[in-house]
Every structure is written in C-alpha cells, then in structure tokens.
Amino acid sequence: MNWYYRLSRFTLLLMGLAAGYGLFAGAYVAMYYQVTPNMSGREDRLGSPLLLLYLAIVILSLPHLFLSLWDGRHRLWAQGATRFLAFAGPVFVVMASEGLVSHFLYWQPISHTDQFHLLHHTITAGLPLTILYGLALRRWWPAGFVPQTPPVSKWFLVPAIVITLFLVLALGIMIGLLPLPGF
C-alpha cells in the first residue's frame, strides 16, 4: 500500500471518529441539558475535541490537493480528479458539518436551543456526508489503485508547503483555535 491510500483511509477513519463523537457528545448534552446546571458551558467544552478532529482532517487532506494539481500539470486528469476527491470530500464534510449545510436544515422549534445543537450538526450533516464520502472514496479510489505520479520538483514542493502553512493558520484562526493578535 502506498502512503496516499493510507492517508486517505486514515482521514476517513478520523471523519468516522468525528461523527461518532458528535453523536455521543450531542446525545449526552441533549439528555442532561435540563437536569445539569451550566450544560451550555459543558457543550462548548465538548465541542472542542470535535473542532480539533476537524482541523486534523483538513490538514491531512491537504497533500491530496497539491498532488492533484501536480497530476493536472502532467495531464493525468482521472488520477488528479481522484486525488481532488480525497481533498475536497473531507473539507466539504467539515464545512457542511460546521454550518454550511447543518444551519440551513432546521428542526423547528428545537434547533434554536443549545440542547440539540451538537446533535443537530452531526445528524443533519456530519454523519450522512461522511457515509457518502466513504462510499465515493471506495468507488473511485479502490484498494488496488496506485497513482503513477511523476517525481515532485522542489519548485512545486516549497510553495505547496508555504501555502499549506498559511491555510492551516487561517483555519486555526477561523475556528477559534488560534487567536488573532490584539483581539
């Protein structure tokens, strides 16, 4: 097995772990919200590991973006599209779980309370989209698929690493893990 395949499967495993954790933590908050004091503060603390998982998922999917661009440069379109799926799928699932989809699908009137917030995000977006991505990855990146990538040049690798660092910093700031100076 090559590292591309292992990395895409490990990212899928982390996505499944995030969906499972979201279900567990969301159910915990929903069950004990009425009987436990300061449960909304506890919900915020329970959401932090989920954000860390999401950040790890996005970071681990970034190499596939750059390798898909490298494949496109060498006119390996099908292989590049498969690698782009390994990047875009996890990023879309994370973005959709954090609000792109889940905030547009409401369970009136309970969706406006903190009691079902984490569970809502997981059930409406996180879990179904993770399953769909897993099926798509299984279909278009089967176990025997070994990409034939030309060697990556250092002139491509250095900007890719710099862009990756900026994207990781931007993601950390966006989800609140890294504070902006002066704020």
- How many of the other CB atoms lie within 10 Å of CB of 13? 12
Q: Which residues of 53-81 are buried (b: 16+ CB within 10 A; e: fewer)?
A: bbbebbbbbbbbbbbbebbeeeebeebbe
Over residues 70-79, the mean pLDDT reads 86
Instruction: Look at residue 28 and tell me whether its pLDDT is greater than 60.
Output: yes
Q: Which two tokens stand for residue 34?
A: 């009425």
pLDDT digits (tens, 9 = 90+) for 142-152: 766 666 777 77
What is the average pLDDT score of the chain?
82
pLDDT for res 93 = 93
First to last CA, the chain: 46
pLDDT tens digits for range 35-65: 878 777 777 788 888 888 998 998 899 888 8
pLDDT at position 6 is 86
